[in-house]
Structure 1
Amino acid sequence: MKQLIVALALAGIMISCNSSDKTKNNKETPIEETPTDSTAQQSNSTFVAINTNQALIATALMAAPEASRDGCKVIGYNMDGEFMTLKEGDNEFIVLADDPRKEGFNAACYHKDLEPFMARGRDLREQGLNAAQIFDIREEEVASGKLSMGEPGLTLHIYYGPNQLYDPETSKVADAQYRYVVYVPYATAKSTGLPEKPIAPNHPWLMDPGTHRAHIMITPLPNNTNQ
């Protein structure tokens, strides 16, 4: 009888240990084992090529502040390579759509008072001038008063990325992110208190200080949700 009691006790201990091990293993199951890959593939499958004028307009408007998108004017090259007004607007913003002839994606939104400056740059670029030549010409024209950049503080919103795919449901472009440029002509590090080079990711800094094209650069950190 004593031997039977001892055997039953040992069996109980073994059952208890096995139960504890299973409970411990269940708690330590890594989250990574959750089948997230299939979900990611489904998400990626929602992106399609930007291959219509309507898609150009929809993705371009992502560069504008959300509350203002309906009233923005959209300009740019259509799918046939013609520069035109893609959408009429009635608020203070002009949106420049992505150029479908170029790799990647780049749309920009800016205050309408910056349009003379932007249009001059497009015109000089079409003439085949390089970035340095365009800079020098506009520097002279702004300094002389021939070319207007509007009031200091006007902002350029840029929505850009490496892909030309978008989600038709949301108009978000795959892997695109934002950058903001605040024009402050002739500002310097001394007049603004800003550094002339980025000191850390996501920090504002002053580019082209002391020139007509002095501007505050702000590049938010990208995220994984395709803004």
Structure 2
Amino acid sequence: MKQLLLIIVFAGVLISCKNSGESKKEQDGSTVSEAVESNTANQTETNYVTIDSDEALVAASLMAAPAESRDGCKVIGYNMAGEFVTLREGDNEFIVLADNPQQSGFNAACYHKSLEPFMARGRELRAEGKTGPEIFDIREEEAKSGKLDMGKPGATLHIYYGESDQYNPETHEVEGAHYRYVVYLPFATAASTGLPEKPLGSNHPWIMNPGTHKAHIMISPLFKDKNE
């Protein structure tokens, strides 16, 4: 009789565990399903479109500037017709160089206005057909002689770049774009700044072109996780 009772009790425990396990699996499966549906919904909510107007070009390019300064930035660059123009006047310390719509991907820059002589000289020499090394050498000589104004030490260039030319018209963000920063310190060296000449990590600052007119601190933040 005792053996029969033990068998009945044991069978009951097994049935209870099986039902509990099945219930947990159903709950876990439901949770996973809800998470997948939520992620899918978030992905489909983003409406990326092609930058196809000067207004969209300006809006996306302004993402290169600090958020609090975007309203007052001057915007220059190539318009959709391929002309280099002032796309928007500004009244603060920043100039935004818009993405060139004739080139693949996206690359906009925002820099302190004291850097404009240096930037403008580069555009002028490039328009004359000078190569990268030639432009470097010409500006190096002009900066050393005092002919070329290199701006305020520490003046910064903000770069917003990516492989896509699609942007979100609601947030103005370009799909998959990232930031990089360049802090100009003409003729600075590793010894004068304490920075290495090569990055110690993927997001560590370092000094590039040390000892030249184009010496600058490179800062490349880690890429933002697309799933965040």
TM-score, normalised via structure 1 length = 0.91
Matched with 1:39 is 41
Q: What is aligned with 1:18?
A: 18
Aligned position for 2:120: 119
Equivalenced residues, count: 226
Query: Partners of 1:48 and 1:226 in 2: how far apart?
Result: 20
The CA distance in 2 between the partners of 1:30 and 1:209, in whole Å, is 58
Q: Offset of 1:15 from its aligned partner?
A: 1.7
Does 2:220 align with 1:219?
yes
Task: Give the secondary structure class of the aligned counterpart of 1:14.
Answer: helix
Alignment of 1:162-173 (within 5 A): 162-173=163-174
Identity fraction in percent: 60
Change (3 A) 1:172 1:226: farther
SS across alignment from 2:214: coil
Matches within 5 A, 1:102-141: 102-141=103-142
Please report how far the alpha carbon of residue 144 of structure 1 lies from its aligned counterpart in structure 2 after TM superposition.
0.7
What is the Cα-based RMSD across aligned positions, in Å?
2.3
Alpha-carbon offset, residue 126 of structure 1: 1.2
2:14 maps to amino acid: M
Q: 1:31 & 1:163 partners in 2: Cα distance?
A: 34
- Structure 2 residue aligned with 1:94: 95
Alignment map for 1:46-61 (pairs within 5 Å): 46-61=47-62
1:120-178 deviations in whole A, cap 9, x for unaligned?
10111111111100000000111111110112100000000001000000000000000
Q: How far apart, in 2, do the equivalents of 1:49 and 1:82 lie?
A: 19
CA change 1:31–1:120 in 2 (3 A) is: farther
Distance 2:27 2:185 in 1: 56
Alpha-carbon shift at residue 207 of structure 1 (Å): 0.1
d(CA) in 1 for partners of 2:187, 2:227: 35
Q: Is the 8 A contact 1:177 1:226 kept in 2?
A: no
Residues of 1 paired with 2:10 and 2:154: CA distance? 80
SS of equivalent residue, structure 1 residue 198: coil
Q: Which runs of 5+ in 2 are unaligned?
A: none
Secondary structure class of the residue paired with 1:119: helix
**Which residue type is aligned with residue 102 of structure 2?**
R
Q: Which amino acid aligns with 1:55?
A: A
Conserved 8 A contact 1:173-1:226: no
Pick closer, same or farther for the CA change 1:163–1:16 going to 2, 3 Å.
Answer: same
Where does the alignment leave 5 or more consecutive residues of structure 1 unmatched?
none
Does the residue aligned with 2:103 lie in a helix, a strand or coil?
Answer: coil
What amino acid sits opposite 1:42 in the alignment? T
Point out 4+ residue stretches in structure 1 off by more than 3 angstroms: 1-8, 23-34
Q: In 2, Cα distance between the equivalents of 1:193 and 1:30?
A: 55
- The corresponding residue for 1:161 is 162
